[in-house]
Amino acid sequence: MNEKYFSDKEFYSIIEVLVNNKTVQEMKNYRHHFETTCFDHCVCVSFYAYKWAKKWHADYKSAARARYASRLVFI
């Protein structure tokens, strides 16, 4: 699933530190919305926050990181 999002090199470079974090990797062990993992959900939400922020000329780097990190409270 994440290949679609990770193929955007700029996006991946923004969240790479988060994605490779050991605690974040544990999110793959938790289900979210029945059919996906918390990790996959975070990547998806982060990607769309990044895309919308870019479109609106906002701080897209912070938007991507913030949306990803917002789910860390569940671990």
Domain parsing of the chain, residue ranges: 3-74
Kindly state the average pLDDT of the residues 62-75.
79
According to the model, what pLDDT value does residue 11 have? 94
Dist CA 62 CA 53 (whole Å) = 9
Higher pLDDT, 3 or 25: 25
Q: What is the pLDDT of residue 74?
A: 59
> DSSP letter at 29?
G
Per the prediction, the chain carries an average pLDDT of 89
Q: Has this prediction a pTM greater than 0.75?
A: yes
pLDDT mean over 2-12: 88
Residue 1's pLDDT is what? 61
Contact residues for 33 (Cβ-Cβ < 8 A; gap 6+): 41
Q: What is the pLDDT of residue 22?
A: 93
User: What angle in degrees, to the nearest 10, is found between the helix axes of 9-19 and 60-69?
Assistant: 40
Give the distance, in angstroms, between the CA of residue 61 and the centroid of all CA atoms in the same chain.
Answer: 11
CA 34 and chain centroid, separation: 18
